[in-house]
Amino acid sequence: MADETKEKSLNFLEEIIEASIANGETRVQTRFPPEPNGYLHIGHAKSICINFGLAKKYGGKCNLRFDDTNPVKEDVEYVDSIKRDIQWLGFQWELERYASDYFDQLYDWAVELIRKGLAYVDDQTQEQIRETRGTISVPGTPSPWRDRSVEENLDLFARMKAGEFPDGAKVLRAKIDMAHPNMLFRDPIMYRILHAEHHRTGNKWCIYPMYDYAHGQCDSIERITHSICTLEFDVHRPLYDWFIEALGIYPSHQYEFARLNLTYTMMSKRKLLKLVQEGAVMGWDDPRMPTICALRRKGYTPASVRNFAEMVGVAKRDNVIDLGKLEYCVREDLNKVAERRMAVLNPLKVVITNYEEGRRELFTAVNNPENEAAGTRQVPFSRELYIERDDFMENPPKKFYRLQPGGEVRLRYSYLIKCEEVVKDAEGNITELRCTYDPMSGNGSSSDGRRVKGVIHWVSAPDAVEAEIRLFNPLFTKENPDDVEEGQTWEDNLNPDSMIKVKGYLEPSLRETPIGQAVQFERVGYFCPDTDSTPEHLVFNRTVTLKDSWAKINK
């Protein structure tokens, strides 16, 4: 395994780290910096795999740092879910930190910048500040408050902190260059007034630092060597460096990679929150959501998500990944680890006329052909069975090897049966098949050595357990959910058939399957018991279908 990874060519982040090690860097310290304003999604999973993965590969550490600088949108519910999701993915952080742990230090550094003449209190509204920022071709207009004395700035900033001013009355700005070609350098806002209770610091603060002022300094405090983030932050990097240099503190460096985009998938936290709040989905963990908790509820394994992150790799340019690749990864992993079971989702009753009424037999079924250690189980057989409606055709085409009038088929792990009669109701719908079985065919053989091509799955009708089966399709009908027609919104692209509920008949052992653990319903797909499942009302989610369209096209 280790050798395999070594042979693979390095991605650009690994190249950067190896170059810094060659330059004398002795540590690798990364961090994952979520804002606790929503649940983590598959895009965050990629960032987690990169940050924790690189630290692990180079014998370093990765911190978990909550970027909790906006009290209005943040909540402990999100903090807890984020921690649970990272651990579920199989990673453990070195330190758990919050940007709010550093509010005192950040404040002191702001005072220091005021003293150096590099920051000032501005009485303009945020709106006025936006309007006077200029454009790429037109320089901004300096604020009338830009040249306040250091003493006055120190006094006003202290009073901002003390709560003397209402929200929006004043801000603290860095004094850089109102004509700078990088718009972010036109005296960026460092602090704003927000009289809001914070989920950790309570009412201690009524001024809160902005992302650009907080992030680099937090990295520096934690002596982060490689601060890895997504591409949209590349224009922020010079400002990240500017604050660190102006303060003369530990020089963390920022590196950017392309964020993950997936077809048919919405990755904006704001929009996902809207779906939850409006009840368009059952919650953040609705199996149709792209969140990590939804993938878990749907039956994904941590390994499948990690493998996906590895497979898509790290790119420097934005791109869109086929959702099929994620499904391919979960299918590959479940094929190895999921136990096999039999379940019928679209039942057709079969009566074995020459099998005694009331008789029961148990057949031994293999739990996982990919893993002998998974052992076997017993499956009950009786005179009345269910088979899949699609496994019978009254007038089949050539090469249809499943059941047909007068034809014979193997029941998986069990007997050969022959269809003798098709029973229909008054409208001509098939209601039942009357079959006979070959009593000598119970162990894969037959009475006269004849061979039968088709093998189908089945369940014993009196033993079958009924369950609600939820079949999931993509949540959006468009590859790019934001691709909208005139006068419509992204919500018009929601797929009305994203969840289809059917009744299934399961072999009795499926009653014991723990919630969240995926099993393969043979010939049908991978499924797992949903969190809504109870012993009285079983509910199974389809994790992924068996058919593997992506691998066929791309291999």
Minimum separation from the CB atom of position 326 to ligand ATP (A): 13
Minimum separation from the CB atom of position 306 to ligand ATP (A): 14
Binding site for ligand ATP (CB under 6 A): 33-35, 37, 43-44, 46-47, 229-230, 259-260, 267, 269
**Nearest of 340, 321, 280 to residue 494 by alpha carbon:** 280
Taking the CA atoms of 448, 449, 453 and 454 in sequence, report the sign of the dihedral they define.
Answer: positive
Among 73, 200, 259, 412, the one annotated catalytic: 259
DSSP 127-148: HHHHHTT--SSSPPPPPTTTT-
Burial of residue 427, with CB atoms counted within 10 A of its CB: 0-12 exposed, 13-18 middle, 19 or more buried: exposed
Among 14, 25, 27, 35, the one annotated catalytic: 35
Q: Is 512 annotated in the active site? A: no
Residues 121 and 171: beta-carbon distance below 8 Å: yes
Residues 6 or more apart whose CB falls under 8 angstroms from that of 488 comprise none
Give the CA distances from residue 395 to residues 210, 405, 421, 469, 505, in Å, rounded to whole numbers and listed in that order. Answer: 70, 8, 13, 29, 26
Minimum separation from the CB atom of position 270 to ligand ATP (A): 7
**Nearest of 143, 171, 175 to residue 157 by alpha carbon:** 171
Beta carbon nearer to ligand ATP, 236 or 296: 236
Minimum separation from the CB atom of position 315 to ligand ATP (A): 10
CB atoms within 10 A of CB 302: 18
CA separation for the pair 63, 61 (Å, rounded): 7
Beta carbon nearer to ligand ATP, 11 or 128: 11
Minimum separation from the CB atom of position 31 to ligand ATP (A): 9
Which residue's Cβ lies closest to ligand ATP?
A: 43
Beta carbon nearer to ligand ATP, 44 or 341: 44
CA separation for the pair 198, 208 (Å, rounded): 10
Residues 181 and 190: beta-carbon distance below 8 Å: no
Q: Is 259 annotated in the active site? A: yes
First to last CA, the chain: 23
**Nearest of 293, 377, 364, 307 to residue 335 by alpha carbon:** 307
CB atoms within 10 A of CB 206: 21
**Nearest of 80, 79, 116, 120 to residue 99 by alpha carbon:** 79
Minimum separation from the CB atom of position 53 to ligand ATP (A): 13
Strand spans (E) along 33-74: 61-66
Q: Is 204 annotated in the active site? A: no
Give the CA distances from residue 126 to residues 50, 54, 169, in Å, rounded to whole numbers and listed in that order. Answer: 36, 39, 9
Beta carbon nearer to ligand ATP, 35 or 548: 35
Residues 337 and 300: beta-carbon distance below 8 Å: no
**Nearest of 189, 193, 157, 197 to residue 173 by alpha carbon:** 189
Minimum separation from the CB atom of position 37 to ligand ATP (A): 5
Minimum separation from the CB atom of position 79 to ligand ATP (A): 11
Rg, Å, the chain Cα set:
31
Among 269, 298, 306, 331, the one annotated catalytic: 269
* Structure tokens belonging to residue 22: 């060659």
Minimum separation from the CB atom of position 121 to ligand ATP (A): 27
Beta strands 96-98 and 61-66 are: parallel
Q: Which residues are catalytic?
A: 35, 259, 269
